[in-house]
Amino acid sequence: MRSNSSFVVLQRACHNALAPQRISHTEWKANLSHTEWKANPRIANFISRHIASNAQKSRTTSRLTPQVIPPTLGIRTATSICHQSTTIRPFSVSRAVAEARKKPAAKPYLQEMKDKLQNPHEKDDDEHTTNAVEEHGEQETEVDDFGRSAKASQAAQLNLSAKLSKDGSAGGNSGGSAEVWRLLKIALPEGRLLAWAFLFLLVSSAITMSIPFSIGKIMDAATDKEDDKLFGLEPYVFYLTLGAVLTVGAATNYSRIIILRIVGERIVTRLRSRLYKRTFIQNAEFFDANRVGDLISRLGSDTIIVGKSITQNLSDGLRSAVSGGAGLVMMGIVSLKLTSVLAFMFPPIAIGAFFYGRAIRNLSRTIQKNLGTLTKIAEERLGNVRTSQAFAGEVQEVARYNAQTRKIFYLGKKEALISATFFSASGFMGNMTILALLYFGGGMVKSGAISVGELTSFLMYTAYAGSSLFGLSGFYSELMKGVGAASRLFELQDRKPTMYPTVGQAVKSARGPIDFKNVTFSYPTRPAVEIFENLSFRIEQGTNIAIVAPSGAGKSTVAQLLLRFYTPNSGTIEIDGKDISKMNAKQLRRKIGYVGQEPVLFSGTVAENIAYGRPLATRSEIIAAARKANCSFISDFPEGLETHVGARGTQLSGGQKQRIAIARALLKEPDILILDEATSALDAESETLVNQALGNLLRGNNTTISIAHRLSTIKRSDRIIVIGGDGRVAEEGSYKELAARKDGAFAKLMEWQMSGDSGSGMPGPVPTEDEEIEFDLETGKEGEGEGEQESSKVKKEDYKGAEVVAEKVKGSNS
């Protein structure tokens, strides 16, 4: 018994699309067998693309937006296309199957993109292919890729002057002596503690370097049977004194380590605080050009490396320098002849240490750059984990993360290989030097030039000097790592914003008319794409204005310009006759309340989020603002206002987050209130409650700017400003005035919304049924509405009939 549910799905999906010529189940079965289309998804994909191609030609009578279908969607795409379509011409399934059989099976879309990246010069057979299907004497052309519009060419002209370089090389003299000195200057505020640490370092190093000399004297005393005194002291007195000295050395070493650890933490804390503050004063274009993950990496791992390189590493380097210098002096005192043997070891090790440090510095920069990329991937993907899970994209996200970790692993392996090569070669040379010292030293002992104790002391000093040399090599390599990380920090620290938010005229009030005067604007990262061109309009004090425009025409940009996130290319924006570009941006923003389309809540309690704009607000003021915003759901929370909302408000619904955002705006008591699509993403119940809260806001004396597309929001406004696709005001007036102009920009925009097209090639927002009927009544289209309802009934009856036939066919096959 073979299931034919796949045929039923395809037949039901294309039932309306193939009208008026119906194709029976038998014909489907004859032309497209179950095993064939399942084994060769290219067949089903060809059919779905053919339907989309026909739908594009029927755009005037179809609600389907023309689109290109990736070659992995198959039957599911055909289903969605056919359900949206209304009048698509019939086509021959037999011809479609015959054409599809001639083509090889398509690669998965992601694999196809990966192959393109790996082989950029290899021509793709599927790209821009054309399938000519002759039907009713016509030729139909199919294109497998999006065309490139003039706007896309303009958008490609990016201005990334605000973008930080990945390795910090844009900061200038990367890795030079000036940058090393600048790195060391970070520790200058801790000079007093560092001086104490250096003093303890000298004491502990002196005690350590006295040990080989003491051991040499002990060895000589052990071989001298006549005099058993050590340094003129009785043995027990000498050993007690030596024990006390070693105890002092341990105490000073302990103090040195504690001081340096504290200094290191202070430096890291100060660095992070400065960089975080520096990041927060940057302009919006800086965050447009840089990803948050890279900034987090600079604030995190880079500051730790820098702090370590100028505290613990600096201490170790000084200790090695002091120990090495004292060791060489003591070796010279014991025997200059043996000391000259070491002259053959130091130069090659010093040269090798220099090149090793440079290689480690460059490799460290590359590792830090890739760690920043890894942080970006994790931050972005984990922040949108629900979307990935909804599309079953866990495997590809894990693969993306693993690919980056493998890259870092290979860089770490390369660093390990370089380190192993250097230290093993240096160790080998050190061992050969000791063999040479033993050979020459043994001869000198036989000849009586030195004693056994002196040779023992010399060998111990040689070991100290060798370890100090290795320590200096490690110090240099760690210092170069710090320089590599510091270059990324200095680049961020030296970045100056184009507009300082705390500089400008004091803003005591933002009341008064708002004037946009010949404003021309394009985003700094896309200077060739002009959003506004000589935009001019006026908003009177205390009015409620709705700004309406097609998708992508710059509705939200009006709010960002008023908040001074960006500065116009030309023209002025004035409040009560004063140019806001000369105002203190921070004080201006305190006078403006903003409710966005996707409200952002911070991890913390409900009360903390409501009081975000006024941290010193009293408990009663917070409660009053929550009640005005219809936040009655707070009473259902176990801890009321002290309930934690979770990261980004994940513990709350969309409507609850929106109303908390409204309460946050209410608590500020702003002079200007901006509502940017405040109800666009809510369900009917949540929208009703939010609209009630907005009604409370609109009854105030503030100026309200509603950026909206919902009729319910637009009708609440005193006046409507319609911005056209050319970046200018197309028309303005009250709702009744604009709705009465059947050929006006507002009426056309509403018609586009009703038909699911925003006029910009993108799907428009779908209004509710009540909004459709209400708009039709006001624009005199009652008859058309009845016709559409009748047509909808016919389509529903047809589809219902198709389901009955499909069930019968399924039953007969079973």
User: For residues 407 and 413, what is the distance between their CA atoms, to the nearest angstrom?
Assistant: 10
Burial of residue 206, with CB atoms counted within 10 A of its CB: 0-12 exposed, 13-18 middle, 19 or more buried: middle
Q: What is the DSSP string of 639-656?
A: TGGG-B--GGGTTS-HHH
**83 compared with 702, residue with greater pLDDT:** 702
Query: Which of these, 746, 683, 743, lies nearest to 714 by C-alpha position?
Result: 746
Tokens 């993306």 identify what position? 400
The Cα 581–Cα 584 span in angstroms is 8
What does the pLDDT look like over 293-313, one tens digit per residue? 777 777 777 777 777 777 777
Q: Of the ranges 216-225, 317-326, 399-408, which one carries the lowest mean pLDDT score?
A: 216-225
Task: Indicate whether 398 pLDDT > 80.
Answer: yes
H or E element, residue 52: helix 41-57
188 CA to centre of own chain: 34
The yes-or-no verdict on residue 660 having pLDDT over 80 is yes
Answer whether residue 659 shows pLDDT above 60. Answer: yes
Specify whether the CB–CB gap between 275 and 230 falls below 8 A.
no
Predicted confidence at residue 814, as pLDDT, reads 38
Phi and psi torsions of 507, nearest 5°: -115, 105
Q: Are 465 and 331 in contact (CB under 8 A)?
A: yes
> Higher pLDDT residue, 773 or 168?
168
Segment among 230-234, 397-401, 628-632, 732-736 with least mean pLDDT: 230-234
Q: Could you tell me which of 681, 689, 683, 760 has the C-alpha nearest to residue 725?
A: 760
Answer whether residue 647 shows pLDDT above 50: yes
Rounded to an integer, what distance in angstroms lies between the CA atom of residue 652 and that of residue 601? 10
How far apart, in whole angstroms, are the C-alpha atoms of residue 655 and residue 646? Answer: 16
Q: What pLDDT does 226 receive?
A: 59
pLDDT in tens, 735-748: 888 888 888 888 88
pTM (whole model) above 0.75: no
Q: Is 676 helix (H, G, I), strand (E, B) or coil?
A: strand
Q: Which of 55-69, 226-240, 408-422 is the least confident region?
A: 55-69
- What average pLDDT does the structure give for the chain? 71
Would you say residue 658 has pLDDT above 60? Answer: yes
Question: Given a cut of 60, is residue 392 above it in pLDDT?
Answer: yes
pLDDT (tens digit per residue) in 157-168? 556 666 666 655
pLDDT at 111: 52
The two structure tokens encoding residue 569: 């290319």
- pLDDT, one tens digit per residue, over 445-490 is 888 888 888 888 888 888 888 778 777 777 877 777 777 777 778 8
* Per-residue confidence (pLDDT) for residue 390, from 0 to 100: 79
Instruction: Give the tens place of pLDDT for each residue, 57-92.
Output: 444 333 333 333 344 444 444 444 444 433 333 344
Contact partners, residue 202, CB within 8 Å, separation at least 6: 322
pLDDT at position 391 over 60:
yes
d(CA 467, CA 209): 13
* pLDDT at residue 251 in the model: 92
What are the structural domains of the chain? 5-147 (no CATH), 169-493 (1.20.1560.10), 599-664 (no CATH)
Q: In this model, does residue 169 exceed pLDDT 80?
A: no
